[in-house]
Chain A
C-alpha cells in the first residue's frame, strides 16, 4: 500500500473545477427539455389521446427499457449512419438529447402519477367555475402535481448530473473525461477519481440544499 498523493489531488481540484460548467450545462439543458417533454407526455397519458397515446407508451417503454449508454451510442455512432443530417451532431448535443429522452420517459410516469393524485375535488371545482381544460391543467392541476412530483424529479436531476459523465464515452472532455486524461498522464488513478467523486458528491449535496428550499416553497399552501 502506498500513501495518497495529497499534493497531486490538491493541484487537480482547480483543473477539474473548470469542467463543472459544462457538466451543469448539459444537465440543466437536459433537465429543462426533459421536464417539458415529460409534462406533455404525462398530460397525454392522463387524457389518453387516441393514436398519440400508443406512440407515447412506446416511447416511454423504449427509453425506460434500454440502458442510457446504449441510447447514447445509438444517437452518436448509430443514427448518423442512417440519417445523414445527423452526421454533424457533436458529443455534447448527443448527450443532451440522450439525457432528455431517457429521463423524460421516467419523469413522464412520475408526473402522470402526481397528476392522478390531485384530488378529484380540484378537477371538479375547476370545471364548475368554467375553466377550459388547458386552464384547469395549467392553473390548478399541474401546480399541485408539481408539489407531489418535486422530490422524485429532483432525484432524476441528480441522476442526470451523474449521467453527464457518460458523455466521456462520446469523446466529450467533460468532468469525467478530463479526470480520465489527467489520470492517464499521472498514473495516479485512485487520487484522480477520488477527487472527481468528491466533486460530483458536493454538487449533488448542494442540489439537495436547493431541493429543501424548493419543497418549503411548494408546500407553503399546505402549512397550517
Chain B
C-alpha cells in the first residue's frame, strides 16, 4: 500500500533577518518514498521541514502536494490550512497537548479537523494506541509519561491524521538514550507501510535501514543525495565526506 501524493518542493528560500537559512531548495518526494535529511547542526534541516507546513513561512518557492499548489509569496490562510491538513508533523520536543490525555492527543484533531464523531475518533485512537504500545497509558496526561512514551504518542497523533506526507523533526534528539530504541522501532513500523516520510535525524544506522534516499544538506543547500548505500559509502562532495567522517 502506498500512502499519500508525494511532494514537490521548488526553489524554496528562507531567511531569518539577514541570515539566509535555506537557499533555493528543490526536492521531489515520490508517493511512498522515505527520505532522510542529514547534515551538520544549524544547517537548515529543521527549518526546511517547518517551511513545508508553514510553521516557518518560506520567503519564496512553491510546494505541490497532489492537486494543492502553494506559492510561498502569495499563500493565503486557507491554503496554509489545507497544506497543514495534508501533512503531519512529529516534533523534536514531542509538543503533546499538555491539557489532553494520550488518547485525547490522538482524537483531538480527528474530531476538530477531520470531523470524525467522538466514537469513531476513539475507535481510531484505540487502534493507534495498540500500534504504539500505549493502550495501558491511554488516559495518562503527557506530564505523567516518559519521554519515549510521549514521543510515541506524538507519532501516533501524526499517524492518525493519515497525512500525505509525514514530517519528522529530529524525533529522537531530545530523548534519553534509553528511549531512543522504542521510538525508532515505531518509526520503522510506520516506514514499512510505505507512508511518505521526510525525516531529519542524526541516527545514521536508522537512516541507512529505512531510507529510500538520503539527502545531505549543508549551509542551507542540498549538497548531494542518493540511495543510502551510495551516499553513505561513496559520497562525492568533500563536505559530505567530512560530515560522514565526523559522525561515524
Show the binding face of A for B, using Cβ within 8 Å. Answer: 119, 121-122, 124-132, 135, 139-140, 143-144, 147, 220-224
Contact = CB atoms under 8 A, between A and B. Distances in A.
Contacts of A221: 98-101, 141-143
B91 A124 contact: yes
Interface in B5-64: 53-55
Contacts of A129: 84, 88-89, 108-109, 113, 157, 161
26 contacts: A122-B97, A122-B98, A124-B95, A125-B91, A127-B53, A127-B84, A128-B53, A128-B55, A128-B84, A128-B88, A129-B88, A129-B89, A129-B108, A130-B84, A130-B109, A130-B161, A131-B109, A140-B97, A140-B100, A143-B99, A144-B99, A147-B99, A220-B141, A221-B101, A222-B141, A223-B143
Contacts of B161: 129-130
A222 B142 CA distance: 8
A100 to B, nearest CB: 28
Contact of B97 (A126, A127, A132, A224): A126
B113 A139 contact: no
Size class of the contact patch on chain B: 20 to 34
Contacts of A132: 81
Nearest to B92: A121
Nearest to A119: B98
Nearest to A124: B55
Interface of B: 53-55, 81, 84-85, 87-89, 91, 93-101, 108-109, 112-113, 141-144, 157, 161
Nearest to B114: A130
B107 to A, nearest CB: 11
9 A-B pairs closest in CB distance: A129-B109, A121-B95, A130-B85, A128-B89, A125-B95, A221-B141, A130-B84, A130-B113, A143-B99
A137 B109 CA distance: 13
A224 B98 CA distance: 12
B192 to A, nearest CB: 24
Contacts of B55: 124, 127-128
A118 to B, nearest CB: 9
Q: Please indicate which of the listed interface residues A132, A139, A221 has the most CB atoms of chain B within 10 Å of its own CB.
A: A221
A125 B167 CA distance: 12
A143 B101 CA distance: 14
A147 B98 CA distance: 11
B98 to A, nearest CB: 6
Contacts of B95: 121-122, 124-125, 128
A139 B109 CA distance: 10
Contacts of A125: 89, 91, 95-97
A132 B113 CA distance: 8
A49 B96 CA distance: 29
Contacts of A222: 98, 141, 143
Contacts of A144: 98-99
A128 B56 CA distance: 11
Nearest to B94: A121
A74 B129 CA distance: 60
A39 B101 CA distance: 25
Given A132-B81, A140-B97, 14 more contacts: A119-B98, A121-B93, A122-B95, A122-B98, A124-B91, A125-B95, A127-B54, A128-B53, A129-B89, A129-B109, A135-B113, A147-B99, A221-B99, A224-B144
A172 B179 CA distance: 65
A129 B113 CA distance: 8
Contacts of A124: 55, 91, 95
A223 B113 CA distance: 28
B169 to A, nearest CB: 10
A122 B88 CA distance: 15
A131 B93 CA distance: 19
B195 to A, nearest CB: 16
Contacts of B81: 130, 132
A183 B138 CA distance: 61
Nearest to A136: B112
Contacts of B97: 122, 125-126, 140
Nearest to B113: A130
A144 B89 CA distance: 22
B102 to A, nearest CB: 11
B118 to A, nearest CB: 14
Contacts of A122: 95, 97-98
